[in-house]
Amino acid sequence: MDSWKLGALELAAAVAAGKVSCRAAAADSLARIEALEPKLKALMRTCGEDALRRADALDARLARGEKLGALGGVPVVLKDNLCWEGHVASCSSKILENYRAPYTATVVERLLAADAVVVAQSNMDEFAMGSSTENSAFQTTRNPWDLARAPGGSSGGSAAAVAAGYAPLALGSDTGGSIRQPAGFCGLVGMKPTYGAVSRYGLVAFSSSLDQIGPFARSVADAALFFQTIAGHDPKDSTSAQWQPGDVLGKVRTADVRGKRFGVPKEYFIDGMEKPVEAAVRAAIAKFRELGGQLVEISLPHTGYAVAIYYIVATAECSSNLARFDGVHYGHRSKEAGDLVGLCSQTRREGFGPEVKRRIMLGTYALSSGYYDAYYLKALKVRALVKRDFDRAFEQCDYVLCPTSPTVPFKIGERADDPLAMYLSDIFTISTNLAGLPGVSVPCAMVDGLPVGMQVIGRDFDDAGVLACAAAFERTADLAGRIAPMKG
C-alpha cells in the first residue's frame, strides 16, 4: 500500500486495523520526500531518524494491544517557527540558523500526545513575513501544481508538502493569510482559527495580536481532526481563551447548511481580480443556494483600509518582538563588531533578510515619538471598525463567503521586486486576522490547471461551524484528497 496517498483519517484507521504499520507510513513519507524534495524545496530539514524511532515505538505499543491516539502513526510536517525541544527552529532566517529550541510548543505537544509522527520541518518566508515563500534565507519553495509558480506564503513550505504527498497534515501560522492563501494556491484546506482558540505558546512571534496556528490538509474532515487535536485552552498562553473545541469532526461529518444565511461582501470582488477566478468563486458561492442556504449581499465598508492597517499593526509588533534577536542572548552573533551597539547592529545586519529589515524599520517608525498617534494609534482605531463591520454583517448572516486570493498562483519572481503588489496578495485574508475571526479556505475550482480557493468566515469561536460549511461545499466540488502532479 502506498500509504502517502491516504488522508489522515484513512491512514489512522489503517494503522489501527493493522493494515499499515507506523514504520511503513513514516518510511513511505520519507521516501516521497527524498524523491521530490530536490525539485520542490518545501522543507528546511527532514527528521528521518526521529520519525522512524517514534514509529517503531508506536508499533511496539500496538503489538502490546494498546490503542493509539487520534493521529496514531500519521506523518505531520511542522512549520519552522514552531519550537520542538532539541530541534532547530530557524524561522528560515540566518539569525536563527543553528538555534535549537529548549522547549516544545503546546500544539506540538498535543499532536505528539495524539501519536502523530513528525517527519519534517517546512521552509517559510523568513519570520513569516511574506506571501510567496521567496523570502526564506535559504531557498525558494515551488508550487507542486506548477513548479514555475509560488506556493503562497508565509506557510508555503507546509502547503507544498501536503499538496505533494509528503504528509497528509501540516501546521502553519496565519498572521494575515499565511495559511489560507497558500492553501488556496496549493489546492488544500487551510484554516485560521479564532484568535485564542489555539495556543501560541512555542510559536516564534511575528505579530502577537494577529498570529494564529492552524492546519493544512487535503480534506475538511482531516483539517477538523487536526484542529480538534490542537485547539483548546492553554494556561501557558495568556491570550488563550477559556474554551474547548468539542466534537468538531462529528459536526463536520453531519454538516448541513439548509436554512443558513451566507453573506457575500460586495467589497471582496474588486477591480484587478482575475476574471476567471471571480467567476469560479461566484459559481462556488452559488452552490450554497443549491444546498439550501440563503445568499445575502453584505457590506464590509472598511475593507479598503485593511492592508494599510495590517502593515502598521503587524510591523509595529514585529519591530518589538524581533528586538530580542540582538546577538547577545541566542542565535547568530557577529564576529566583526567591537562594542555592544556595534555587535547588535552588525548581527542584525548579517542575520535578517531584506523583507524583515523593511518591516522592522516600518514598525519602528510607526511607534516612534511624534508618529505613534498618527499611525499606530489610528490603525488600532480603524481595526476596531473592521471588527465592527463583521459584527454588523453577522446580524444579517451566519457566515461570510468570499475569495481567498484575487489571482491564481503567480510565477516565482513575478512580484519579488514589488512589495506593494505582493502585499495585495492577502487583500481578502487580512481582515479576518484584524477581527480575530475563524476562516477556512477550501478548494473551489481549477482555472487553467491551477487551484482556486474560497473562504468561509464565521463568528468568534464558531470554528466548527466554519469547517462544517466548508465540508458541505466540499461534497459538491469533487476536489478533496488531490495530490499535485509536480508539473514543470
In angstroms, the CA 152 to CA 171 distance is: 15
Q: Would 65 be classed as within a structural domain?
A: yes
154 is catalytic: yes
Q: Would 86 be classed as within a structural domain?
A: yes
pLDDT tens column, 295-320: 999 999 999 999 999 999 999 999 99
Helix axes 220-230, 463-477, angle to 10 degrees: 160
* From 3, 21, 29, 79, the catalytic residue: 79
pLDDT tens column, 85-130: 999 999 999 999 999 999 999 999 999 999 999 999 999 999 999 9
Q: Would 370 be classed as within a structural domain?
A: no
CA distances from 148 to 40, 144, 455 (A): 10, 9, 25
CB 187 within 8 A of CB 441: no
What number of other Cβ atoms are within 10 A of residue 263's Cβ? 23
**Res. 342: pLDDT tops 90:** no
231-235, 322-326, 418-422: segment of lowest average pLDDT: 418-422
Q: 209 burial class (0-12, 13-18, 19+ CB within 10 angstroms)? A: middle
In angstroms, the CA 406 to CA 70 distance is: 36
Percent composition of the chain: helix, strand, coil (DSSP 3-state, to 5): 45, 15, 40
List the domain range (segments joined by +) for residue 435.
Answer: 3-263+397-477
DSSP state of 293: -
* pLDDT band (50, 70, 90) for residue 274: very high
Q: Which pLDDT value is given to residue 80? A: 98
In angstroms, the CA 33 to CA 26 distance is: 11
Q: Would 450 be classed as within a structural domain?
A: yes
Q: Would 159 be classed as within a structural domain?
A: yes
381 is catalytic: no
Least Cα distance to 442 among 478, 396, 406 occurs for 478
**Res. 410: pLDDT tops 90:** yes
What number of other Cβ atoms are within 10 A of residue 133's Cβ? 34
Tallying the residues shown for the chain, one arrives at 488
Q: Which long-range CB contacts under 8 A does 134-139 form with residues at least 24 apart? A: 134/412, 134/413, 134/416, 135/92, 135/353, 135/354, 135/355, 135/356, 136/92, 137/92, 137/93, 137/94, 137/97, 137/353, 138/44, 138/92, 139/41
> How many percent of the chain have pLDDT more than 70?
100
Overall number of domains in the chain = 1
pTM: 0.97
**Res. 465: pLDDT tops 80:** yes
Q: Which pLDDT value is given to residue 341? A: 87
Q: Which pLDDT value is given to residue 306? A: 96
CA 44 to centroid of chain Cα atoms:
16
Residue 184: φ, ψ to 5°: -60, -40
Q: Would 416 be classed as within a structural domain?
A: yes
* From 178, 207, 240, 441, the catalytic residue: 178
Element (H, E) at 265: strand 261-265
In angstroms, the CA 400 to CA 402 distance is: 7
Least Cα distance to 161 among 30, 249, 23 occurs for 30
Q: Which pLDDT value is given to residue 340? A: 86
Q: Would 373 be classed as within a structural domain?
A: no
Q: Which pLDDT value is given to residue 364? A: 96
**Residue 151 maps to which CATH number?**
3.90.1300.10
* From 90, 132, 154, 319, the catalytic residue: 154
**Res. 469: pLDDT tops 90:** yes
pLDDT tens column, 364-382: 999 998 899 999 999 999 9
411 is catalytic: no
Q: Which pLDDT value is given to residue 338? A: 75
Q: Would 161 be classed as within a structural domain?
A: yes
